[in-house]
Structure 1
Amino acid sequence: MMGASGLAVADQVVVPASQQSPDLKDMPRPSNGMSMKRIEDEYGKPTSISGPVGEPPITTWEYDYYTVYFEHNLVIHTVLKHNLQ
């Protein structure tokens, strides 16, 4: 709700990355620019593959602790899974 001053007030919750997955933050994982072949050679086969979808084609490889996103056959991003039980 806006007050007389015109400023909006909201709560913001920030969880530092170091507290989200303390056991995974230093885990070796694929880095940007690595090829699909190199990823498979170094990290093994993914548990699942989705895509390619769109233009440029984006393919997703799921591993136990992270997801790897490829554009064509090169890594563009690797995301840790934070909700592991």
Structure 2
Amino acid sequence: MNKRTLKAVCAVTALTALAAGPFTAATAEEVRVPVMSQAERSAQENLPRTGMSDASVRNGWGEPRQITGPVGDPPISQWHYEGFVVYFEDDRVIHAVLKPER
């Protein structure tokens, strides 16, 4: 981008910001993180690891309460256990996450 183009882009951006002026509303969302974060809880929990087979998960944690999917391409499934959810691509774990504490 040359200097002339850059100046034009900056001018348009400034004019757009000025035109929006007082009509622009900013919003914020409050996020509360518990004393023990998801990462800390996950590290302390015994969860299935990435790359494990579905048979290994069944052997280690039993039958899931619910299975959803597969959905999409590649096929992604979710196995819901009491305290966590395991995500599979085909028959391999891609991620396991804890459910929020209540």
Identity within the alignment, %:
43
Aligned length: 78
CA 1:10–1:49: 2 relative to 1, 3 Å = closer
Distance (whole Å) between structure 1 residues aligned to residue 47 and residue 95 of structure 2? 10
TM superposition shift of 1:13 = 2.6
TM superposition shift of 1:51 = 1.1
Does structure 1 residue 81 correspond to structure 2 residue 92?
Answer: no
Runs of at least 5 residues in structure 1 that lack an aligned partner in the other structure: none
Distance (whole Å) between structure 2 residues aligned to residue 55 and residue 71 of structure 1? 9
Runs of at least 5 residues in structure 2 that lack an aligned partner in the other structure: 1-19
Q: Which has the higher contact order (CA 8 A, sep 6+)?
A: 1
Does structure 1 residue 57 correspond to structure 2 residue 78?
Answer: no
CA 1:43–1:17: 2 relative to 1, 3 Å = farther
Greater helix share, structure number:
2
Greater strand share, structure number:
1
Query: TM-score by structure 1 length?
Result: 0.74
Distance (whole Å) between structure 2 residues aligned to residue 72 and residue 17 of structure 1? 35
How well do the aligned residues superpose, as a CA RMSD in angstroms?
Answer: 2.6
Give the number of the structure whose alpha-carbon radius of gyration is greater: 2
Runs of 4+ residues over 3 Å off in structure 1: 8-12
Query: TM-score by structure 2 length?
Result: 0.63
